[in-house]
Every structure is written in C-alpha cells, then in structure tokens.
Amino acid sequence: MKRDKDIWVFGDYRNYFRNRVTLQILARATELAARTGGAVCAMVLGDNVDEFAAEYLAHGASRVYVVDDPRLKQYSIETYAFVVSRFAEELQPETLLIGATKFGKEIAPRIAKKLHTGLTADCIDLEIDDRGRLIQTAPSFGGNLIARIITPDHRPQMATIRPGTFQELPHDYAAQGEIVSLALPPDLPEDKIRCITSEHRPSRKQKSEDADIVIAGGRGMGSKGKFKKLFELATLMNAEVGATRPVVYANWIGHDALVGQAGKSIKPKVLLSFGVSGAIQHTAAITGADFIVAVNKNPNATMMKMADVAIVADANQTCLGIIRALKEKIRD
C-alpha cells in the first residue's frame, strides 16, 4: 500500500492573529520532515480561505491543500471531520498534526476514529526515531509520567500539540509553494446539527502562551485578595497572569491560567515569578522563558535557582512595591 511521507498540519485559522498554534506546528513539522524526507503540507477548510493558505506557505508549508466552499463557511464538526478523513484516506499522509485547542481536541479524535489510527493528545514534543517513526511526547496519568508514544502499525500517525510548545518560523515573504484545490466530496453527509445563529465574542486578553511578559503567581502570594494585585501589575506591564496548581485549585484564578504539565507551556521574553517553589510539573512548562525574575522568601527554592534575577523578599510586598513604582513613573 502506498504510504506518502508527508506531514500534514491541520489549519486552525480561527482568531488567526492570536491563535498561532498552526504556525508553531508547521515550524516543528519542517524539522521533522528534514529527517523523514516528506513534504510539509497544511490542510485548510472553509469559505474564502486563500489568505490563510498563503500564510501557511510563508510559515513553512511547502504545499497547502485547500477545500474552499461556501458550505464550509459554518464550522460543523461532522462535516470537517468527514472531509479531512476522506482526503487523508485518499492522499495518505504519514503524519497528521492538529493544535490541541478546544477545537482541535474536539475534531482530532473523530478523525482518528474514522481513519482507524491512534492519536496522542496534548503533546509537548515531537521527534523522529531512527526508524523514521514519530515519537509523540505527552504527559500522562495526570502528569505523573511523561510518555513517549509511537504508532507502529497504523497511519497516519496522529497527535494534537499543546499551543506554545514550539516557536513559529518568521514570515518568509519569498516563500514559494504549491496550493492544491480540492473539491468537496460529492457524498458529503447531511449535517445532523443545524446552526440557527452564531455570535463571535472576541476575548480582550491575549493568551499567556503568546505573551511577551508573564507574571506567574504561586501559593506564596498568600491569599486570593493578595493574588489579585498581580492583575493590577499585569495591567501596568501589559502582561498576562499565570499560576501554579495550588493557586488554581484554591480558585484564586481560573484553570486557563495554569502553567505546567497539566496546563500551558509559556515562552515569554520576561517571566516574573512570585511565591512559586519551582516544582518540576511547573518548571517543565517555563523552559522557553528568555529571562526570569523570581521573588521568594526562601533563597533555596528551585525557582530562585532557575532565575536570572532572584529576589529574596515577601512576594506580596514586592508586587505592591513594583506597582507603586510603576504608577509613580507613569505620573512623572
């Protein structure tokens, strides 16, 4: 049976300028393809999606499969899963990668089921072994283990990848590639779900996995009330707030802010860490930070050893002090 070596990346272009996961996966796919010899292909479905096809070429894809049809304007899980699996059956990519966004987590298992293949969810790394197989690294058993998974017998090898795991390539204005238009399959099943109306509610905040400055708070902030001061500091610094697991479990902030194995990976230019001990489940997700400032009353905390600047002090008082100083600077 013919097996192409191509790596496909599903084009999740919703909220394009903030949702960079497709571009991040494309970047990693180019490195993987350099080892396996296949092409890096993006697959885009929708209505009037040419601009996204061009973006994917500029960010590492050498071929983009485009299914452009007004019937795809309204996203439908059934239709999209049907179309992707149909073309995957026909064109037989070796690998199919999808961002582990809410959308990706919904569609990927359905595609895997239709293709009778395996799926590793929420990967935090992808590599190629010496037999050319995809090693899919993902936290498992609630984050207690890091599993390295291969798909020995079935194709495509499928994985969803956590946003923020890889760094997107710079936009290459000179990039050239192939755009292949595909027609919707004639036997498109009738949708069981009918959308009556939809409303787009853009969120005001940027995502912490894309933010240049992240302020991460841990249990050492002391209380929910004191933790709130980090939001004020974040507003002054145009930063995003992240948190450790105890903080999220104590409901000082929503689960969306969790940084770590069970949450998001971040790669800010500057990470300010307040009252965080530096457990491996947390630090595994901050290795991409360029510069770390940690505040902790314990100079021996792991977080302090990882930091470029370690301030031995009370986390809450230090936060208040920086807020005061920034406000004074703004007034001047």
Interacting residues with ligand FAD (CB under 6 A): 142-144, 218-220, 222, 244-247, 258-263, 275-277, 279, 281-282, 295-298, 301, 314-315
Whichever of 20 and 245 has its CB closer to ligand FAD, that residue is 245
Whichever of 120 and 244 has its CB closer to ligand FAD, that residue is 244
CB of 134 to ligand FAD, least distance (A): 24
CB of 227 to ligand FAD, least distance (A): 10
Residue bearing tokens 């966004």: 101
CB of 143 to ligand FAD, least distance (A): 3
Strand order in the sheet with 125-128: 125-128, 134-140, 145-149
**DSSP per residue, 72-137:** GSS--HHHHHHHHHHHHHHH--SEEEEE-SHHHHHHHHHHHHHHT--EEEEESEEEE-TTSPEEEE
CB of 123 to ligand FAD, least distance (A): 15
Whichever of 60 and 263 has its CB closer to ligand FAD, that residue is 263
With beta carbons less than 8 A apart as the criterion, state whether 286 and 216 touch: yes
Q: Strand pairing partners for 243?
A: 217, 258
CB of 260 to ligand FAD, least distance (A): 2
| Among 264, 275, 260, 271, residue whose Cα is nearest residue 226 | 275
Whichever of 142 and 152 has its CB closer to ligand FAD, that residue is 142
Whichever of 26 and 272 has its CB closer to ligand FAD, that residue is 272
